[in-house]
């Protein structure tokens, strides 16, 4: 059998005899001889144990087998898996938080009622508690496939049975990126969005899912994401983000504060903390490209006014007439706002031009990097 290294593998050299092989998305950290670096490098494409032994000699076969057992070398179809994320969403308390978010749940319910027509076949990709699948069944779908790759599916199955909808809804265990249903569906519903929408990395998975399962003319709900930014003027927001890294009983933590100032922070930002209403800087069809970039230009600000950072958020175009935006002026949801510490200022004309780029992190497709540029004075890359 052929195996390939996991997609986000990192090597840390330990002295002159060993390396630490790490995979954040797979939750693995293995100490191995430095020779393992050559083996995993060569296994950037699928290899068998025999091929490794032929290339590096007999002892390499034992190392290959050990790396397979440790989960560093995996079957090709598992190389891009992120099991750590599915473990998180298998927790009941996570779904308790999401179900308590009435703005989110009600917004999806109303959009599903508008989208589903009697007789439709529907897929709920990442069903979680099963709530959206049940809304689709109640709206008149003939059949609903509720797909999830986490342990929460057993609870979703019980919820569906308790609601008397088992004759309409079938639960399917598996990663919706690779599942192939027994029939094509008219509508794919998904709520697989994290911070700034792209955390969770669902766009790539949904593209693969739609290619396998969506009937010609079928649609995805939501089908687009909008991205917003606004300047933050309230020092209290900065204090909440990095204030802990100050002098504590005479201990200088300035280096930690500088490091924290380069990191995006998730928190709730009040509308009164903004210097101006948010401006949409980009949009992304969903599923589509998982990188968005654009420019927001703010005018009418106080000339030379200073800001402690930028606030970012997103909105979902769920269906015609049904949108959900999570900004500081919108109803609260379980999605927080993204604060980017950024000491920037408006120019002498009260103008602030912000260039933004949101893209998957280079080493973990479930995370994102946010690049910000303000004129010629400020440029920074944040990670979330």
Range scoring the smallest mean pLDDT among 71-75, 302-306, 329-333: 71-75
Q: What is the pLDDT of residue 297?
A: 97
Range scoring the smallest mean pLDDT among 9-13, 121-125, 325-329: 9-13
The pLDDT tens digits of the residues spanning 158-179 come to 999 999 999 999 999 988 888 9
The pLDDT tens digits of the residues spanning 240-258 come to 887 666 656 666 666 676 7
Would you say residue 90 has pLDDT above 60?
A: no
Beta bridge partners of 283: 226
Q: Please compute the mean of the pLDDT values over residues 354-377 and round it to a whole number.
A: 85
The pLDDT tens digits of the residues spanning 15-59 come to 667 888 877 666 677 888 888 888 888 888 899 999 999 998 888
Provide the mean pLDDT of the chain.
87
**How far apart are the C-alpha atoms of 100 and 242, rounded to whole Å?**
29
Query: Which two tokens mark 310?
Result: 């930028």
**How far apart are the C-alpha atoms of 97 and 333, rounded to whole Å?**
10
Q: Please compute the mean of the pLDDT values over residues 183-191 and round it to a whole number.
A: 97
- The set of residues, in sequence order, having a beta carbon less than 8 Å from that of 341 and lying 6+ positions away, is 238, 241, 242, 260, 261, 262, 263, 265, 308, 309
Q: What is the pLDDT of residue 250?
A: 65
Neighbours of 121 (CB within 10 A): 19
Would you say residue 86 has pLDDT above 60?
A: no
The pLDDT tens digits of the residues spanning 120-143 come to 999 999 999 999 999 999 999 999
Range scoring the smallest mean pLDDT among 98-102, 215-219, 333-337: 98-102
- The set of residues, in sequence order, having a beta carbon less than 8 Å from that of 118 and lying 6+ positions away, is 140, 141, 142
> In order of start, what are the domains of the chain with their CATH numbers?
4-81 (3.90.930), 86-191 (3.40.50.150), 224-383 (2.70.160.11)
Q: What is the pLDDT of residue 239?
A: 85
**How far apart are the C-alpha atoms of 205 and 267, rounded to whole Å?**
27
Would you say residue 369 has pLDDT above 70?
A: yes
Residues 189/157, Cβ–Cβ less than 8 Å: no
């Amino acid at each position: 059998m052929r195996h390939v290294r996991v997609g986000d593998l990192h090597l840390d050299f330990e002295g002159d005899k060993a390396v630490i092989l790490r995979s954040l998305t797979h939750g693995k950290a293995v100490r191995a001889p430095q020779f393992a670096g050559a083996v995993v490098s060569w296994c950037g494409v699928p290899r068998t144990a025999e091929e490794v032994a032929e290339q590096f000699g007999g002892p390499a076969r034992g190392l290959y087998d050990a790396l397979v057992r440790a989960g560093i070398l995996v079957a090709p179809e598992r190389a891009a898996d992120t099991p750590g994320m599915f473990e998180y969403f298998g927790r009941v308390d996570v779904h308790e938080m999401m179900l308590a978010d009435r703005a989110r749940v009600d917004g999806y319910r109303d959009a599903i009622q508008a989208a589903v027509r009697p007789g439709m076949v529907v897929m709920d990709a990442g069903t979680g508690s099963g709530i959206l699948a049940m809304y689709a069944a109640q709206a008149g779908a003939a059949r609903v496939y509720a797909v999830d790759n986490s342990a929460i599916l057993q609870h979703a199955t019980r919820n569906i049975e308790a609601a008397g909808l088992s004759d309409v809804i079938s639960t399917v265990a598996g990663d919706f990126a690779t599942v192939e249903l027994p029939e094509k569906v008219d509508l794919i519903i998904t709520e697989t969005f994290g911070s700034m929408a792209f955390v969770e990395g669902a766009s790539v998975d949904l593209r693969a899912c739609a290619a396998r399962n969506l009937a010609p003319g079928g649609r995805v709900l939501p089908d687009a994401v909008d991205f917003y930014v606004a300047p933050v003027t309230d020092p209290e927001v900065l204090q909440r983000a990095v204030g802990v890294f100050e002098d504590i009983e005479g201990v200088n933590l300035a280096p930690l504060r500088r490091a924290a100032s380069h990191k995006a922070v998730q928190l709730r930002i009040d509308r009164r903390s903004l210097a101006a209403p948010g401006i949409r800087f980009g949009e992304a069809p969903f599923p589509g490209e998982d990188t968005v970039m654009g420019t927001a230009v703010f005018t009418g600000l106080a000339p030379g006014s200073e800001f402690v950072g930028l606030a970012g958020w997103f909105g979902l175009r769920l269906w015609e007439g049904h949108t959900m935006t999570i900004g500081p002026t919108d109803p609260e949801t379980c999605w927080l706002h993204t604060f980017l510490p950024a000491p920037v200022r408006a120019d002498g004309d009260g103008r602030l031009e912000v260039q933004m780029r949101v893209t998957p992190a280079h080493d973990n497709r479930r995370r994102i990097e946010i690049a910000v540029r303000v004129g010629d004075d400020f440029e920074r890359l944040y990670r979330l």
